[in-house]
Structures are given as C-alpha cells and as structure tokens.
Amino acid sequence: MRQLIAGNWKMNGTRADLKELAALRVALAGNPPGADVLICPPATLIAPAFAAIAGEFALGGQDCHAQASGAFTGDISAEMLKDAGASAVILGHSERRRYYAETDAAVAAKARAAWRAGLTAIVCIGETEGERVAGKALSICEGQLVGSVPEDAVLARLAIAYEPVWAIGTGRTPTEADIAEVHGHIRRCLLSRFGAGGAALRILYGGSVNPGNAAAILRVGDVGGALVGGASLKAADFLQIIAAAPAA
Ligand code: PEP
C-alpha cells in the first residue's frame, strides 16, 4: 500500500510561510515521491496554498464542523474546506479532544460531514501516558476507534492516525514494538468491523516523527504513513520524512 505522509501545521503559519510549500512543490515536482503527500495548514492558508502548489501534493484542514453551514460563529464546515482546495481533514486530534472536549460521537459526526463534502477523514486516536502506564493503550484506542468511526464509514476516504498523546510534541516516541502492537490491534479491529475493506485502510503513526526516526517507524508492520507536526513546518525536514517512506 502506498503510504501517506501528512503534515499538521496546527496554529502555525502565515502567508510568509507559503514559501515552504513552494519549496516542497518544486522538490516534489523534480523528484516525484513514493508516498502520497498532504499538508494541513491553518484554514486561512488553504486557498493561497492551493494556488501556490499547482496540484503537486494535497491540502487538508485540521478540523471541521459537523453542519454544512449555519449560525456557528468561528467554525468552518467541510464544504468550506473543500471549496478552499482541501481534499482531506484531520479529525479528533488529541488537542481538539483535550482543549475543546471533543467526544468520540462529535468526531464521528465530523467524519460524516467530511464524507458528505467529499473529503478524506483522518481520524486520530491515542492513549495518554497514564493510560499506557495502566496497561490500557489497546482498549483506549479500540474504544476511540469504535466511537469515532461510524459503522457506515466511507472506507475509500478514511485513514486512521494512531497518535499517543504523550508522544505529540515531546520528542518521545513509543518503541517500534509498541507501535507494531497498537497498529496490529487497530488493524484487527478494522478487519472485524469492516471485513476486507479494513485491510486496505491506512493507519498512520503520529507523535514526534522526525527525519532521524522516520525510516524505522515507517517500516513497522501495519504503519501506512505518518502524521507529522513540528517536522512538517520546514520543507527540508518534511522532504526527508517523505523520502524515508518505503516504496509501495
Ligand atoms: C501532531 O500534532 O499530530 C503531531 C504528531 O505533532 P508532532 O509531530 O510535533 O509530535
């Protein structure tokens, strides 16, 4: 399966940073990647980024509202992301779950909104450090997966991102054996829920992926790509991670 290397810029970036996307475009045009590439900048940058990257890679949002439009001050719908040039949206990121109390049910509603608008939903799940220490990593991930991914999921436009909360932005990563264990468990859950369709879903790993550890992480069984925060902000770093993806 062709891997997906996705960048999450979080609340970072102004128009001055479009130069990083332009650098990415030029590098990828000259050396086509062996993986699919996606950058999720702040929503304000999606439209200008779309104009700047000439289709060389894909763009996504970092969240969306479940409704298509309405009186929801400050929110952005999946349809608006699509209109701006996005083809995907990150949903249920642990920062959204933590700071905005997003529940699994809310994430599932947003996933339906993404599919309604024709976007790919990248649904994030992952345990806290306390939950891992308590031996609950697998059950927490399974519970979030069941609650956040609707039964009638559009499998062709779904990816899962396993992001242990304690590894995000900390420079700490699980061992390769731990990543393999969780990804294997997620795969078994997807197979039991969606049958053969669950075999083709990409399960991304996210949490302190960088140019130094990407090659090892991306070769772990059932890892179908990476969701990258800090190391996606600079084209030079992100290009090294893209280059580390094994060919399909
Ligand atoms: C993320 O925010 O999804 C993430 C993985 O961040 P970082 O790579 O910076 O840990």
Torsion of CA 193, 197, 87, 237, to 10 degrees: 90
Domain ranges of the chain: 4-244
**Residue to mutate, 63, 209, 233, ligand 1, most ligand atoms under 8 Å from C-beta:** 209
Q: Name the closest-CA residue to atom 5, ligand 1.
A: 207
Name the fold adopted by 4-244.
Answer: TIM Barrel (3.20.20)
Residues near 134 by beta carbon (within 8 Å), at least 6 away in sequence: none
Q: Is 163 a catalytic residue?
A: yes
Q: What count of other Cβ atoms lies within 10 Å of the Cβ of residue 134?
A: 12
Name the token pair of 158: 């779904």
Say what the pLDDT of residue 225 is. Answer: 98
Beta pairing partners, 159: 122, 202
Could you give the C-alpha distances from 83 to 22, 76, 87, in angstroms and in order? 21, 11, 9
Q: What is the pLDDT along the chain (248 residues), one digit of tens a residue?
A: 999 999 999 999 999 999 999 999 999 999 999 999 999 999 999 999 999 999 999 999 999 999 999 999 999 999 999 999 999 999 999 999 999 999 999 999 999 999 999 999 999 999 999 999 999 999 999 999 999 999 999 999 999 999 999 999 999 999 999 999 999 999 999 999 999 999 999 999 999 999 999 999 999 999 999 999 999 999 999 999 999 999 88
Distance 146 CA to ligand 1 centre (A): 23
Helix crossing, 176-194 with 137-148: angle to 10°?
A: 40
Say what the pLDDT of residue 96 is. Answer: 98
**Residue 122 near residue 90 (C-beta atoms within 8 A):** yes
Index of the ligand 1 atom closest to the CA of residue 90: 3
Is any atom of ligand 1 closer than 6 Å to the C-beta of 94? no
The model carries a pTM of 0.98
Name the token pair of 233: 């902000």
| Residue at token pair 């550890």 | 213
Distance 40 CA to ligand 1 centre (A): 12
Index of the ligand 1 atom closest to the CA of residue 230: 9
Q: What is the CA radius of gyration of the chain?
A: 17
Index of the ligand 1 atom closest to the CA of residue 208: 10
Say what the pLDDT of residue 31 is. Answer: 92
Name the token pair of 203: 């399960």
Q: How far apart are CA 108 and CA 117, in angstroms?
A: 14
Say what the pLDDT of residue 248 is. Answer: 82
